[in-house]
């Protein structure tokens, strides 16, 4: 199950040093401004990942908000209700809005004038692609590949440099038969390992589970590990003992096929898999591994990133 390196290398820079070099506090844990040097690394990573794009892949970029109905239908509230952020706005007509503002100005609570909208904050880049693909009719014989990205939100405030509330996710999504999705995920394990090698980061690829909500969720998580439905490429960022998931390889079987009635030409539900790149975690991992000054990073790493 574990793959590649027997031991993980200790990060060169401390989490505090990385934080000061790359993040600018905003007063909210896990929500930071980002330095120019840091953004140049995020952009370089994006270019590197784009070079790996399959010729048949279709590029779609999503905004940081998504349809609430879509996320409800996808089953997010069953699995991760604790992480979801919903967009609210003042509603109920001008009078009620004015009264909420007046309460604010009087130093009172105004937020009880908020009403939930039809939007949530996008929790993962791939969700919106499934209904979009399903709406096109039967999945073609060769299946589909999408290159998607989004700013993502998860309500998991933390002071850890690798756990943000607002972060960027890039994904390659494969839709097709069981065989097509399995092959894609296995190939991507190797390609991801090669990418990590070029970045000079220490890593391990291991079976993992998602943080499903509640006690039943914990069971689902154990099943997920047993069935190897999720792997993560983990990198020492804060420590070697608790390495950080910087990429994940997720197999959903035909969950989204069934949910969105997405079928192949033979009528069978489509299988889906996604490879997710945590852009902020990869960038943070690079600064932790190679130090806070890009100019002092190994030449091979800078050349791989064209920095």
Quick count: other Cβ atoms within 10 Å of Cβ 297?
Answer: 22
Closest CA to 19 of 151, 121, 163, 133: 163
Q: Which x/- pattern, by CB under 6 A, does the window 9-48 give for ligand ATP?
A: ----------------------------------------
Q: Using CB under 6 A, which of the segments 53-61, 69-77, 196-204, 278-286 binds ligand ATP?
A: 278-286
Q: Using CB under 5 A, which of the segments 95-103, 108-116, 204-212, 261-269 binds Mg ion?
A: 204-212
Site for Zn ion in 12-31 (CB under 5 A): none
Report the nearest approach of ligand ATP to the CB of residue 124 (Å): 6
Site for Zn ion in 265-294 (CB under 5 A): 274
b/e per residue, 30-67, with b = 16+ CB within 10 A?
bebeebebbeebbebbbebbeebeeeebeebebeebbb
Q: Which does 274 bind (CB under 5 to 8 A by kind): ligand ATP, Zn ion, Mg ion, none?
A: Zn ion
Q: Using CB under 5 A, which of the segments 83-91, 170-178, 180-188, 206-214 binds Zn ion?
A: 170-178
CA distances for 66 relative to 124, 199, 261, angstroms: 10, 32, 20
What span, in angstroms and rounded, lies between the C-alpha atoms of 32 and 24? 5
Size of the site for Zn ion (CB under 5 A): 3
Q: Using CB under 5 A, which of the segments 43-51, 140-148, 166-174, 221-229 binds Zn ion?
A: 166-174
Residue nearest to ligand ATP (CB): 278
Site for ligand ATP in 244-273 (CB under 6 A): 245-248
Q: What is the CA radius of gyration of the chain?
A: 21
Q: Which residue has the tokens 């996320």?
A: 71
**Structure-token pair, residue 234:** 């983990």
Calculate the dihedral angle through the C-alpha atoms of 11, 13, 15, 16, rounding to the nearest 10 degrees: 160
Site for Zn ion in 197-226 (CB under 5 A): none
* Torsion sign (Cα): 190, 74, 150, 84: negative
Binding residue for ligand ATP (CB under 6 A) from 73, 163, 255, 302?
A: 163
Report the nearest approach of ligand ATP to the CB of residue 187 (Å): 18
152 binds Zn ion (CB under 5 A): no
Quick count: other Cβ atoms within 10 Å of Cβ 116?
Answer: 12
70 binds Zn ion (CB under 5 A): no
Binding residue for ligand ATP (CB under 6 A) from 20, 29, 210, 254?
A: 210
Strand 65-67 relative to strand 114-121, pairing: antiparallel
What value, to the nearest 5°, has the Cα angle with vertex 18 and ends 247 and 153? 45
192 binds Zn ion (CB under 5 A): no
Instruction: Give the H/E segment covering residue 36.
Output: helix 36-50
Interacting residues with ligand ATP (CB under 6 A):
124, 154, 156, 163-164, 167, 169, 210-211, 245-248, 276, 278, 280-281
Q: Could you list the residues that contact Zn ion (CB under 5 A)?
A: 126, 171, 274
| Interface residues toward Mg ion, by CB under 5 A | 211
């Amino acid at each position: 199950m574990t793959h590649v390196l027997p031991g993980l290398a200790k990060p060169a820079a401390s989490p505090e040093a990385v934080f000061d070099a790359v993040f600018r506090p905003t007063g909210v844990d896990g929500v930071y401004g980002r330095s120019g040097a840091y953004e140049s690394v995020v952009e370089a990573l994006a270019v590197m990942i784009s070079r790996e794009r399959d010729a048949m892949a279709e590029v779609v970029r999503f905004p940081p908000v998504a349809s609430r109905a879509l996320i409800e239908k996808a089953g997010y509230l069953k699995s991760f209700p604790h992480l979801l952020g919903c967009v609210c706005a003042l509603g109920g007509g001008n009078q009620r809005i004015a009264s909420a503002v007046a309460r604010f100005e009087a130093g009172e609570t105004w937020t009880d004038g908020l009403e939930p909208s039809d939007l949530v904050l996008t929790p993962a880049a791939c969700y919106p692609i499934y209904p979009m693909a399903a709406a096109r009719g039967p999945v073609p014989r060769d299946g589909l590949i999408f290159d998607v990205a989004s700013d993502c939100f998860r309500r998991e405030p933390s002071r850890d440099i690798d756990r943000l509330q607002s972060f960027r996710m890039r994904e390659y999504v494969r839709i097709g038969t069981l065989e097509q999705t399995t092959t894609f995920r296995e190939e991507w394990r190797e390609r991801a390992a090669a990418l990590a090698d070029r970045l000079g980061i220490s890593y391990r690829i291991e079976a993992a589970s998602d943080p499903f909500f509640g006690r039943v969720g914990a069971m689902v998580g154990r099943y997920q590990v047993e069935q190897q439905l999720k792997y993560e490429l983990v990198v020492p960022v804060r420590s070697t003992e608790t390495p950080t998931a910087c990429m994940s390889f997720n197999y959903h079987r035909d969950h989204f096929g069934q949910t969105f009635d997405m079928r192949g030409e033979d009528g069978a539900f489509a299988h889906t898999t996604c490879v997710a790149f945590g852009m902020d975690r990869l960038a943070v991992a690079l600064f932790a591994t190679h130090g806070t000054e890009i100019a002092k990073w190994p030449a091979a790493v800078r050349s791989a990133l064209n920095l």
